[in-house]
Amino acid sequence: MRKVAIVGGGLAPFGVRQATWKELAQEAGGATFRDIKNLERKDVDSLFVGAAMPERFAFQSHVAPMVAEQVGVTPTKVITRTELACASGQSAIRMAYACIAAGLSDIALCIGVEKMNIPDPPEMQTSMACVLDREFDGVQGASAPPFFALCANRHMHDYGTTREQMAMVSAKNHHFSTTNPFAQFQKDIPVEKVLTSPMVAPPLRLFDCSGITDGAAGVVLTTAERAKEFTDTPMYILGSGQCSMGSNLANYKSFSTWFPLKEAAKEAYRSAKIGPGDLDLAEVHDCFTISEIMEYEDLGFCEKGKGGKFIEDGKSDLGGKIPINTRGGLLGTGHPLGATGIAQAIELMQQFRSSVPRQRLVDNAEIGMAHNLSGAANVHSILIYGRNPP
Amino acid sequence: MRKVAIVGGGLAPFGVRQATWKELAQEAGGATFRDIKNLERKDVDSLFVGAAMPERFAFQSHVAPMVAEQVGVTPTKVITRTELACASGQSAIRMAYACIAAGLSDIALCIGVEKMNIPDPPEMQTSMACVLDREFDGVQGASAPPFFALCANRHMHDYGTTREQMAMVSAKNHHFSTTNPFAQFQKDIPVEKVLTSPMVAPPLRLFDCSGITDGAAGVVLTTAERAKEFTDTPMYILGSGQCSMGSNLANYKSFSTWFPLKEAAKEAYRSAKIGPGDLDLAEVHDCFTISEIMEYEDLGFCEKGKGGKFIEDGKSDLGGKIPINTRGGLLGTGHPLGATGIAQAIELMQQFRSSVPRQRLVDNAEIGMAHNLSGAANVHSILIYGRNPP
């Protein structure tokens, strides 16, 4: 197995964009190539496009070759789109990682893209609901906000987690996003404002929820051996973990513990030969405030049930035990489904390069995690990245 | 890079099925596990679901974990859906291949599924059109039949290919499908009937076109080293090639030569260390009769422009130079988009095992190819399989 590195990447600004999905993909592709010295488009031999739902948001299928044409690459080894709902972007990186590691590709481009703000909001909302099982769960009214509200209520009941603690997650991540010109939301949202924002699905209010966002992101992967041809500061893949457990909500063993996350984390730490204490920072999937709190616990950053206290004590803030979501998370930057996992990788890469703004820099960071959940948190995907080769 | 083998597989019967996409996936999963001795569901550590358009055909996204639950597996290493329109199924195999070769998975299940016969035929037809670029080509009326009609007209003009020769492809493949109880169409369609069937897109008539089909297929991959634990007759992956070139039809250099197919074939032969003359049989993507004729040429089975003569001379029939589409092809078995690439692999595996009906058996076959095109033939995907390890 060959070792693999990310040698650069770039973003299309996240937000409500006057741009089609193709234009967003092209912007991210352009930013990616501008970031990487010595890489020409003709040298890319594979393309992985992470996109969750262009069939519904743009009535367009088979998007991978359209991205190839739009970005100006001609993959001669591998091309595919990966779809895993909210983890579609990380899934693109994972497949590129596998192909490079196996020797099936030498230089892979990953583009994650989603255009979610469309002229027909009910179509967008109904489409978002279909990431859960329509036959089992959709008919009961389950979509993302009600599902995560179930988790929040159960976590409050089981562990005494408070609304204030959830609001602190939102305030922290929105504060980080004030440093991020690529974020959809760039204003501070203090705890009080979260707690009084409009109710969405009790107990979750508007600022407990990530946004409906247009955006795109790109990274290039190659072998660790060749990485220095393209950048002085490659970021290496140290390990990975992923687990899918169940789908139908009626079969869940718990709503306050995500067992597939614990499994994915175990495999990620095992393959990277590290423990949670070795991480200098992490990007975790804060689609809702309660998600980040549960992730502190099930990723092993704190004891089970102590996630609320973890945020309250500032352990996930800059200067804390492990700074979390320094780019602003999904809550602050928005969540264009296919782009998020790739944007997280870019943040870690820029942290390792010390090229993020000083206000969110984690000094001398060497090991970081990127985590995505998808659907009703029944699938969890983790990559562990390092500033130094494995 | 670890060597990889397919150790078994199974099908859900293709046709107009009174079954949901989930039921089809479950049928294929069940058939797959019944085919493989000593494999338990708990031993599968990764899942790759090939599906082209469940978002439109079933208004369902994030299908991978739903297939996991339906089939009864709990992937703890890798899970994703792959989408590449008509090559979505082969794309699942390709990603499983990469993950096993790289050591990211040890036992991978691939399920390809598509439920295309839905209660709303206009929705199905419009959805099928969105595998081509809607913005550039859709507005000009381009969908699959008109595009392949363009190719047919141009090929007739450039090389003198005849309607009779195209009809012979259909007659051959429908004849093969009379031996296949899993095929959608199991009746002989003689040349005369093809030539007088209803016009679809001139010069292509009804029996020049593959069907609208429900179906599913599954295979399991593992390392070549472990393959014999599960079967006495593994099928090995010898090589692969894939190329994406262009998208917008206005940029095509030719409609009578598929340049990305020539590129993909070159890489497939190179990686398998064989030439076209070493193949004992092939499954190629006969979505339309003209496709198979062009594939004879661009895959190197005959000289450019001689594809019509190749079928006329019986070179692609049993006993000919290279028997093509012995299971009945897309024309005979139907084309459930996500399932087709996996069903092709199963045919080759069963040919190597000599377990197909005598009437279509290629004696002592040792090396075979599976080919899919997708979209407007701008992406071509090839895997080369062998009865013996590479």
The verdict on a CB contact (< 8 Å) between A64 and B75 is no
Catalytic residue among A86, A110, A243, A302: A86
Q: Determine, yes or no, domain membership for A128.
A: no
Q: Determine, yes or no, domain membership for B224.
A: yes
Nearest by CB to B59, from A134, A243, A244: name it.
Answer: A134
Answer whether A389's CB lies under 8 Å from A236's CB: yes
The residue of chain B nearest to residue A48, with distances taken between CA atoms, is: B82
Q: Determine, yes or no, domain membership for A135.
A: no
Please name which of B359, B355, B353, B348 lies closest in space to residue B382, comparing C-alpha atoms: B348
Enter the tokens of residue A265.
């984390």
Q: Determine, yes or no, domain membership for B304.
A: yes
pLDDT computed for residue B260 by the predictor: 98
What's the pLDDT tens digit per position in A107-154?
Answer: 999 999 999 999 988 888 889 999 999 989 998 999 999 999 999 999
- Asked if A86 is an active-site residue, the reply is yes
What's the pLDDT tens digit per position in A259-316?
Answer: 999 999 999 999 999 999 999 999 999 999 999 999 999 999 999 999 999 999 999 9
Query: What would the mean pLDDT of A145-170 be, rounded to a whole number?
Result: 98
Angle at A78 between CA B304 and CA B275, to 5 degrees: 40
Chain A residues lying within 8 Å of B64, measured CB to CB: 83-84, 244, 379
- Asked if B86 is an active-site residue, the reply is yes
Answer whether B373's CB lies under 8 Å from B356's CB: no
Chain B residues lying within 8 Å of A143, measured CB to CB: none
Q: Determine, yes or no, domain membership for A182.
A: yes
* Summary mean pLDDT of chain A: 97
Q: Is residue B248 less than 8 Å (CB to CB) from chain A? A: yes
Computed on alpha carbons and rounded to an integer, the radius of gyration of chain A in Å comes to: 19
Answer whether B331's CB lies under 8 Å from B174's CB: yes
* N-term to C-term CA, chain B: 12
Q: Specify whether B175 is located in the same domain as B277.
A: yes
Q: Specify whether A63 is located in the same domain as A157.
A: no
Enter the tokens of residue A115.
């255009």
Q: Specify whether A173 is located in the same domain as A89.
A: no
pLDDT computed for residue B228 by the predictor: 97
Q: Which domain holds residue B39?
A: 4-120+213-235
Per-residue exposure over A348-377, b if at least 16 CB sit within 10 Å of its own CB, e if not:
bbbbbbeebeeebbbeebebbbbbbbbbbb
Instruction: Please tell me the distance in Å from B279's CA to the nearest CA on chain A.
Output: 21
- Cα–Cα dist A63/B83, whole Å: 9
Catalytic residue among A175, A285, A335, A371: A335
Computed on alpha carbons and rounded to an integer, the radius of gyration of chain B in Å comes to: 19
Q: Specify whether B229 is located in the same domain as B267.
A: no
Q: Is residue B104 less than 8 Å (CB to CB) from chain A? A: yes
Q: How many whole angstroms from its chain centre is CA A48?
A: 16
Task: Name the one residue in this structure whose structure tokens are 């790759």.
Answer: B48
The verdict on a CB contact (< 8 Å) between A62 and B83 is yes
How do the pLDDT tens digits run along chain B, 390 residues long? 999 999 999 999 999 999 999 999 999 999 999 999 899 999 999 999 999 999 999 999 999 999 999 999 999 999 999 999 999 999 999 999 999 999 999 999 999 999 999 998 888 888 999 999 998 999 899 999 999 999 999 999 999 999 999 999 999 999 999 999 999 999 999 999 999 999 999 999 999 999 999 999 999 999 999 999 999 999 999 999 999 999 999 999 999 999 999 999 999 999 999 999 999 999 999 999 999 999 999 999 999 999 999 999 999 999 999 999 999 999 999 999 999 999 999 999 999 999 999 999 999 999 999 999 999 999 999 999 999 999
For chains A and B, count residue pairs whose Cβ atoms are closer than 8 Å. Answer: 204
Q: Is B354 left (phi over 0), alpha (psi -120 to 50) or beta?
A: left
Chain B residues lying within 8 Å of A2, measured CB to CB: 102
Q: Specify whether A244 is located in the same domain as A229.
A: no
Q: How many whole angstroms from its chain centre is CA B322?
A: 17
The residue of chain A nearest to residue B104, with distances taken between CA atoms, is: A98
Q: How many whole angstroms from its chain centre is CA A265?
A: 15
The verdict on a CB contact (< 8 Å) between A101 and B97 is no
Q: Which residues pair with A222 in a beta bridge?
A: A5, A107
pTM, to two decimals: 0.98
pLDDT computed for residue B8 by the predictor: 98
Residues 156-175 of B with CB under 8 A from A: none
Residue A292 CB-half CA count within 13 A: 37
Furthest C-alpha separation in chain B: 56
Q: Is residue A103 less than 8 Å (CB to CB) from chain B? A: yes
Q: Specify whether B93 is located in the same domain as B180.
A: no
Task: Name the one residue in this structure whose structure tokens are 């679809």.
Answer: B200
- Cα–Cα dist A337/A56, whole Å: 13
Instruction: Please tell me the distance in Å from A345's CA to the nearest CA on chain B.
Output: 18
Q: Is A319 left (phi over 0), alpha (psi -120 to 50) or beta?
A: left
Please name which of B390, B370, B372 lies closest in space to residue B381, comparing C-alpha atoms: B372
Chain A residues lying within 8 Å of B55, measured CB to CB: 53, 55-56, 127, 130
What's the pLDDT tens digit per position in A315-370?
Answer: 999 999 999 999 999 999 999 999 999 999 999 999 999 999 999 999 999 999 99
Enter the tokens of residue B255.
């409609």
Q: Which amino acid is at A278?
A: D
The residue of chain A nearest to residue B270, with distances taken between CA atoms, is: A77
**Cβ–Cβ contacts within 10 Å for residue B202, how many?**
11
The string of DSSP letters for B201-267 reads ETTEEGGGB----EEEEEEEEEETTTGGGT-SS-EEEEEEEEEE---SGGG-S-SSS-HHHHHHHHH
ipTM greater than 0.95: yes
Instruction: Please tell me the distance in Å from B27's CA to the nearest CA on chain A.
Output: 18
Q: Specify whether A179 is located in the same domain as A316.
A: yes
Looking up residue A302, the CATH number of its domain turns out to be: 3.40.47.10
Nearest by CB to B244, from A74, A97, A243: name it.
Answer: A74
Q: Is residue B16 less than 8 Å (CB to CB) from chain A? A: no
B248 burial class (0-12, 13-18, 19+ CB within 10 angstroms)?
middle
Q: Specify whether B283 is located in the same domain as B179.
A: yes
Q: Specify whether B340 is located in the same domain as B227.
A: no
Q: Determine, yes or no, domain membership for A147.
A: yes
Answer whether A378's CB lies under 8 Å from A137's CB: no
The verdict on a CB contact (< 8 Å) between B56 and A60 is no
Residues 118-147 of B with CB under 8 A from A: 126-127, 130-135
Nearest by CB to B375, from A62, A76, A133: name it.
Answer: A62
Instruction: Please tell me the distance in Å from B309's CA to the nearest CA on chain A.
Output: 30
The verdict on a CB contact (< 8 Å) between A79 and B379 is yes
Give the CA distances from residue B5 to residues B92, B291, B346, in Å, rounded to whole numbers and listed in that order. Answer: 14, 29, 12
Within 8 A by CB and 6+ apart from B294, the residues are B151, B155, B256, B257, B258, B261, B307
Q: Specify whether B87 is located in the same domain as B171.
A: no
Chain B residues lying within 8 Å of A53, measured CB to CB: 55, 61
Q: Which amino acid is at A358?
A: R
A186 burial class (0-12, 13-18, 19+ CB within 10 angstroms)?
middle
Answer whether B81's CB lies under 8 Å from B50's CB: yes
The string of DSSP letters for A119-131 reads S-HHHHHHHHHTT
**Cβ–Cβ contacts within 10 Å for residue B272, how many?**
23
- Sign for the CA dihedral angle at B161, B167, B173, B179 comes to negative
Q: Specify whether B325 is located in the same domain as B363.
A: yes
The verdict on a CB contact (< 8 Å) between B133 and A240 is no
Chain A residues lying within 8 Å of B65, measured CB to CB: 244, 246-247, 374-375, 378-379
- Cα–Cα dist B52/B131, whole Å: 9
Q: Determine, yes or no, domain membership for B129.
A: no
Task: Classify residue A19 by its DSSP letter.
Answer: S
- Cα–Cα dist B49/B114, whole Å: 11
Indicate the number of domains in chain A: 2
Q: Determine, yes or no, domain membership for A328.
A: yes
Catalytic residue among B155, B174, B175, B335: B335
The verdict on a CB contact (< 8 Å) between B66 and A94 is no
Q: Specify whether B166 is located in the same domain as B249.
A: yes
Q: Which amino acid is at A72?
A: G
DSSP E strand stretches across A192-294: 199-201, 204-205, 214-223, 235-244, 281-283
Chain A residues lying within 8 Å of B139, measured CB to CB: none
Query: What would the mean pLDDT of A228-257 be, rounded to a whole number?
Result: 96
- Cα–Cα dist A238/A267, whole Å: 12
Among B66, B86, B123, B221, most A C-beta atoms within 10 A, so best to mutate, is B66
